[in-house]
């Protein structure tokens, strides 16, 4: 329930409690600030068992459909180097105070004024971790295993450098217009290749995509000297990608990458539904 006027709060709270009670047999609900047209920004961190914590920059995750990320990029076009250092420093201070150990991602919403609002922390490697790996040239999966073994971080914050720009497109087996699942058998599958390009996938020609599970079939990740070149490289990779037998969202990715708001870096979590309306 979204409440825009104080006079409507009590009624909305009662309604939310009633719905919670009916659905979960418990009428407890969260009350939190509603952020209109936010950007979804997450900070990648690594913390060992020896008190060392570093941040590996942010990922911009505002291109979403049904609250699920479909394109991630780093660095965020919304942050200056100074703001990145400030936010990263605050996150590191908080995790040191909590005694956190392992890899993790602190997820934030940024409002239109640049204010930050904490959402949650994911205490694991995320789907979009290759974006950070390509930007900082470090293997995050290996790093998490090292930390779990009790080894100290092999680098300090001063050793973390952000080089160029990286973008990831999640290729889902779904209708690119309505985002409805598209299960079936993949009859042909060709991944793009070349420098600055990475494709993570579990499928080959003949693979069966069932209707019961997540529709993600591949992650196409590119890296280049700057954002504009990375966008061009991704557009080329998506043109080369071939998936037959099921529908995918690769054509929708190309629409997003060509959209003026995305190209300008001035977008938020409302971009995808607005592109759908434009169609």
Q: Cβ(38)–Cβ(28) under 8 Å?
A: no
Cα(45)–Cα(147) distance, rounded to whole angstroms?
Answer: 12
Q: Cβ(150)–Cβ(219) under 8 Å?
A: no
Q: Cβ(169)–Cβ(250) under 8 Å?
A: yes
Kind of pairing between the strands at 102-110 and 39-47: antiparallel
Q: Which of 30, 185, 56, 77 is nearest to 128 (CA)?
A: 56
- Write out the DSSP string of 132-190: HHHHHT--HHHHHHHHHTTPPPSS-GGG----SEEEEEEEESB-TTT--B--EE--EEE
Catalytic site includes residue 124: yes
Kind of pairing between the strands at 184-185 and 208-209: antiparallel
Q: Terminus-to-terminus CA distance in the chain, angstroms?
A: 29
Of 4, 11, 37, 124, catalytic: 124
Residues annotated as catalytic (active site), given as ranges: 124
């Amino acid at each position: 329930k979204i409440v825009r006027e104080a006079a409507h709060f009590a009624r909305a709270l009662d309604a939310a409690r009633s719905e919670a009670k009916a659905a979960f047999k418990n009428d407890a609900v969260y009350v939190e600030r509603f952020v209109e047209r936010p950007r979804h920004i997450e900070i990648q961190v690594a913390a060992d068992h020896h008190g060392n914590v570093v941040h590996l920059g942010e990922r911009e995750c505002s291109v979403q459909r049904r609250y699920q990320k479909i394109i991630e990029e780093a660095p965020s076009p919304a942050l200056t180097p100074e703001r990145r250092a400030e936010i990263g420093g605050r996150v590191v201070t908080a995790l040191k105070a909590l005694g956190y150990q392992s890899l993790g991602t602190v997820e934030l919403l940024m409002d239109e004024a640049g204010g930050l609002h904490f959402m949650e922390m994911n205490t694991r490697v995320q789907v979009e971790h290759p974006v950070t790996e390509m930007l900082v040239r470090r293997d995050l999966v290996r790093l998490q295993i090292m930390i779990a073994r009790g080894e100290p971080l092999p680098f300090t914050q001063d050793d973390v450098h952000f080089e160029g720009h990286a973008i990831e497109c999640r290729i889902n087996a779904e209708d690119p217009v309505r985002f409805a699942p598209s299960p079936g058998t993949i009859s042909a599958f060709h991944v793009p290749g070349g420098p600055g390009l990475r494709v993570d996938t579990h499928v080959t020609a003949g693979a069966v995509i069932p209707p019961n599970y997540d529709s993600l079939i591949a992650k196409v990740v590119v890296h280049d000297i700057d954002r504009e070149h990375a966008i061009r490289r991704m557009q080329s990779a998506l043109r080369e990608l071939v998936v037959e037998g099921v529908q995918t969202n690769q054509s929708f990715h190309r629409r997003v990458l060509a959209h003026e708001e995305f190209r300008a870096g001035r977008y938020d979590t409302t971009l995808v539904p607005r592109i759908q309306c434009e169609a």
